[in-house]
Every structure is written in structure tokens, then in C-alpha cells.
Structure 1
Amino acid sequence: MKKDYLATPELPAKRVSDSEIEQVQPVFKAHLNSQNRLFGGQLVAWIDIVAGAVARRHCNRNVTTAVIDSLQFKEPVFPDDVVVLYGRMTYVGKTSMEVRVDSYVEALDGNRKLVNTAYLVLVALDENGKPTPVPRLICETPAEKAEWEAGEKRRQLREKRRSEMF
């Protein structure tokens, strides 16, 4: 696993903390579905924006989303709630990056309830819109190392699904 953390002189490795992002999003009437709850597609859009910003910070390139893993909504979000999205890098390949985005609903007292956890794969693009290498990822904490190992497993599962056309 150590080789995954090595960097080339052209692309120095970056820490997870170098690209993490927290976005706060108030929920307005325009964000609601017919049940007066946050429209799921709106949350997906916010998640994709946060993941894109994390990946862009990591590779200093434009990026495109290749995969969004399954989404499970654990808590409803209502009008005037505040959604907090926290994104961080979890795994990198040669040109791709996996980003985890946790979404929370935050109460007035500051308590947060998890709404969703999503993993997205984004690809770094060169000036011609073609995939280009990304910096290695420095995992410093046990949690970051565990995410890396889980990211390797998720990558294998994605490859298996793709090969089976599932």
C-alpha cells in the first residue's frame, strides 16, 4: 500500500486535509418536492458540486463526474432546515479520484443528523478534456487509511459491475 502514497516530482502527493470542503446550504421552498421535503435531485446536485470542488482542489485540474454510488436518504429535510455537506478525498487511482460526501441536517442548536453518505468517482481532465494523472493521496490517520482500504474494495466492485454490465 505504501506505493500508493508515493508522489512523482511532477505531481507531489497531497494530504486528505488539503482538499476537504464544508458547504452550508439553507433549504428554500424552491428546493422542495410535493411532500414539502427536500427534493432528492437537489441534494444530489449539491453533493456533486462539493465532490467536484474537492477533486479539483486535489488535482488542480478540471474534473468530470464518472460515478455516483447508491444514495440512501436517512433523514427528511424540511423547509428552513440547513444542510451541511462535508467532502473529502478517500482514494485515488491514476486519473480518477474517489470523494466521500456526508450530508447532514443541522438543527438550530447545532446538532447534526446524517442525511446521506455518498461516494463519487471523478476524473481529472487535461487541457484537451482527456484523462490526466492525479497526485497521490497521503493518508495520515487510521480513519483515512481505513477509507483508502475501503476505497480499493469499492473500486474492485465497480470494475466487477462494469465487466458484468450490472
Structure 2
Amino acid sequence: MTLQKNVSFSNAITTMIMHPMHANAQGSVHGGELMKIMDNVAGIVGFKHSGGKGNVVTARVDELVFIKPVKVGDIITCVGQLTYVGNSSMQIMVKIYVRDLTNYSEPEIALSSFFTMVHLKDGIPASVPQISPVTKEEEELYILGERKYLENKNKFSK
């Protein structure tokens, strides 16, 4: 019997305010700063899913899409959700939502991406539990994740 976990078990969310140290001289937050936050959240999702044993490293970042600029003073919320699991790899959808508190706006998606994280033990890829999608959204993301996983695997196995 293969160990399985619910997708929601590994979800991770972090919220923070953007400061001048995150931005350029015009007050726009550097894309690299936002990517670092996304990578950290993806790592937390992978670490939680792998049971906190060994290490989790970034193997791939797909489709990083910048949708809305983030400015100094904005509140961001970064959300990571497991979408698909291979043997040792985990595909994680990560989104950053931005909220401008000066006009009480609703959060809007600022960035979106898929991260592939690999679980390592002693530097060698190690297996992770499979996932059990529960909701319709989780099932749809699982199908998308499986398709992306197979496309990438076929692309680089040649």
C-alpha cells in the first residue's frame, strides 16, 4: 500500500508587507525578491509533504507570469499548493496576491508559477507520498500537473 496525503495537508501561506529594501528606486518590488518568496513557500510545501525528512530543492520553475506590479507598502500573500507528485518530485502551484491598503482593494493575483521541487536524502532523490485530490479544483490541478509533469519528463529524457 502506498502512503497518500490530502493535498491541503501541505499547503503553505505567508503574508508580508513590501519595504523599500525589496524595491528599486521607483518603488516597484524587484521580481527576484518576489520569486525568492515564491521559492521559499514552494520549499515549505515540499518539506511538509515529504515529512520533514531530508532536503527539498528547486528543480524547475515553469511559467512565471508577472500579472500586476507590486509596490512598496503593498501587502502580499503568497500561497503554495501541491498539484502533482511523481516519485521524488513535487509540482507546486504558487501565487502571490497583492493588496493595496490605501484604497481597501480586494487582493489581486500579481504573480503565478509552477515550481518542481525534488526530495533528497543524503543528496539522492528520495520518494515522497502520493496525493489524494479531494475537491474538484484539486482534481483539475492534478490533471494539469500530471500533463505538465509528463511533458517535461518527455522533453528532457530525449
Tell me whether the two structures share a fold, i.e. TM-score over 0.5: yes
- CA distance in structure 2 between the partners assigned to 1:30 and 1:107 by the alignment: 18
**Paired residues for 1:55-66 under 5 Å:** 55-60=46-51, 61=53, 62-66=55-59
Gaps of 5+ in 2: none
Deviation at 1:107, TM superposition (A): 2.8
Q: Is 1:151–2:142 an aligned residue pair?
A: no
- CA distance in structure 1 between the partners assigned to 2:155 and 2:75 by the alignment: 36
- CA distance in structure 2 between the partners assigned to 1:43 and 1:159 by the alignment: 27
Out of 103, 111, 114, the position equivalent to 1:116 is 111
**Deviations 1:49-81, CA, capped at 9 Å, x for gaps:** 000000100011320110011212111111110
**Paired residues for 1:63-78 under 5 Å:** 63-78=56-71
Instruction: Read off the aligned partner of 2:58 and give its amino acid letter.
Output: T
Out of 44, 66, 76, the position equivalent to 1:53 is 44
Residue identity over aligned pairs, in percent, reads 32
Query: Over aligned residue pairs, what C-alpha RMSD do you find?
Result: 1.4
* Structure 1 moving runs of 4+ over 4 Å: none
Residue of structure 1 in register with 2:87 after alignment: 94
Q: Is 1:35–2:29 an aligned residue pair?
A: no
- CA distance in structure 1 between the partners assigned to 2:64 and 2:130 by the alignment: 27
Q: Which structure has more strand as a fraction of its residues?
A: 2
Residue of structure 1 in register with 2:10 after alignment: 19
* SS, match of residue 125 in structure 1: strand
Of 19-28 and 105-114, deviating more is 105-114
Deviation at 1:163, TM superposition (A): 4.2
Instruction: Read off the aligned partner of 2:144 and give its amino acid letter.
Output: A
TM-score, normalised on structure 2? 0.92
Gaps of 5+ in 1: 1-6
**Deviations 1:14-54, CA, capped at 9 Å, x for gaps:** 11111111100210001002432010000000000000000
* SS, match of residue 72 in structure 1: strand
Out of 130, 133, 146, the position equivalent to 1:136 is 130
